Structure 1
Amino acid sequence: MTLARALPTDASGWWFFLGTFALYAAARWFFAWRRARRDGDEHPVRAAFAEEDDPRPATAGGFRSYRQFFGFVGSAVLVVVVAGLTAGRLRLALLGTLVPLLITALAYLDFRQARKERAQTL
């Protein structure tokens, strides 16, 4: 039981959790801003902040598609494998590069799925 993980007890651990959510939100906003700018919107920043997901019910246990579900599960498995098989500086370097890339990829998958669903309703 000494290897069991728990919620962080110090502030730096909580900053890592909050940082992942902030990175996801920033990546999602960036993709929406880039799409609005590419579509020739007069105010791409305003359009990016005004973008909302489709309120239709989600599928696949809370995910809107199986691609999102498998992307999330695959990312989680990859992070657990890297964290379990590495140690020290190598773990820190791998997770420091791998986790932001995975979060950005998941934000892109979510953005594409929401855009596809909006296009189908129009």
Structure 2
Amino acid sequence: MIALYVLGRWFFAWQQARREGDSHPVRAAFAEEDDPDAVNASPTGGFRSYRQFFGFVASTVVVTLVVTLADGRVRFLLLWFLVPLLVVALSYVDFRQTREARSKAR
């Protein structure tokens, strides 16, 4: 799942670089890194925003509900569909949060 998260972040960075007309969008996607000065203590713990925190909590609740309420093949199919979807959604929320922080810093 970590690999899927990283691939999602790279994809969103690549897509943004293409949209902005970067001559090397792949290079821009791989060069995207979080600013180490932007990481501050926050009331949400290690999360930089309430969106990230609530996205993580909601994802946990959804997976827990599927595990407890579904059985057999239905559980298997739902988890194979929902977990990657939730991981990519969280990577998108993180990508947007980073992009907004960079635009405010400029």
Sequence identity (%): 63
**Does residue 41 of the first structure (1) align with residue 22 of the second (2)?**
yes
Partner residue of 1:85 out of 69, 73, 76: 69
The answer to whether the Cα contact below 8 Å between 1:54 and 1:117 also exists between their aligned partners in 2 is no
- Which runs of no fewer than 5 residues in structure 1 stay unpaired? 1-19
Shift of 1:54: 2.5
Greater C-alpha radius of gyration: 1
The answer to whether the Cα contact below 8 Å between 1:27 and 1:107 also exists between their aligned partners in 2 is yes
TM-score, with length taken from structure 2: 0.94
Higher helix proportion: 2
Runs of 4+ in 1 over 2 A off after TM superposition: none
**Number of residue pairs matched?**
103
Work out which structure has the larger RCO, using CA pairs closer than 8 Å and 6 or more positions apart in sequence: 2
Counterpart-to-counterpart distance in 2, 1:119 and 1:52: 14
TM-score, with length taken from structure 1: 0.82
Partner residue of 1:113 out of 87, 97, 104: 97
Who is 1:76 aligned against? 60
* Superposition CA RMSD, Å: 0.8
Counterpart-to-counterpart distance in 1, 2:93 and 2:41: 15
Counterpart-to-counterpart distance in 1, 2:8 and 2:94: 10
